[in-house]
Amino acid sequence: MDVFVSQYDWIQRSRETLFRYCETMSPEDYVKELDSFGGDSIRSLHVHVVNCYRGWLGNRALGKPLAEIKPESVPIVREMREIFMETDALVHEFLNKFKGNWDESTLVTFRSGASAEFTALWLYTHTTTHEFHHKGQIVKIGRILGYIPPETDLIEPEIQVVQK
């Protein structure tokens, strides 16, 4: 079993629950910017998560020239799902490239001119935990807007009864 592929599968399942929740919202609420969240909307947080995966795993680790996505280019949840499907493919490409080489480092140079090396394990851990951090914020914004969220933490596996 590839533990990181399995882990990402759980992340995708949790994200699917979050998308179903977002689909219960009005399109206006999905894009509504809240001052109490620094002007962020649920949509802008989703885009921010995608851009994190694209920036760290795509641009830096895989060397792909991926442009940053702008929130206003994604008006509805269905289109956000499509962008996350592209992101899923990117994550799987990253997982395949670094499989068994989690200590391999990527040199990153920042706009300030400073640079640092990050291991593949750090890059994967950073991007996935970053998504869960913002998932919590999305659920909180939904609550503020009057939507009751489902359980969005990692969903437990279905229990199957085995007949002997």
What is the per-residue pLDDT for 109?
A: 86
What is the per-residue pLDDT for 134?
A: 96
134 is annotated as contributing to ligand binding: yes
Q: How many CB atoms lie within 10 A of CB 39?
A: 9
Q: By the 8 A CB rule, do 49 and 130 touch?
A: yes
pTM for the whole thing?
0.91
Query: What would the two tokens of residue 78 be?
Result: 């269905």
What is the per-residue pLDDT for 21?
A: 96
Residues 52-75 have pLDDT tens digits of 999 999 999 999 999 999 999 999
- E strands, the chain, are 105-109, 115-119
Q: Give the whole-angstrom CA distance, residue 25 versus residue 34.
A: 15
130 is annotated as contributing to ligand binding: yes
For the chain, which domains are there? 3-144 (1.20.120.450)
Q: How many CB atoms lie within 10 A of CB 13?
A: 13
What is the per-residue pLDDT for 151?
A: 83
Q: pLDDT below 50 — which residues of the chain?
A: none
Residues 19-31 have pLDDT tens digits of 999 999 999 999 9
What is the per-residue pLDDT for 111?
A: 86
Q: What is the 3-state secondary structure (H, E, C) of 105-118?
A: EEEEECCCCCEEEE
Q: Calculate the CA dihedral of residues 23, 143, 44, 26 and round it to 10 degrees.
A: 40
DSSP labels, 15-47: HHHHHHHHTTS-HHHHH--BGGGTTB-HHHHHH
133 is annotated as contributing to ligand binding: no
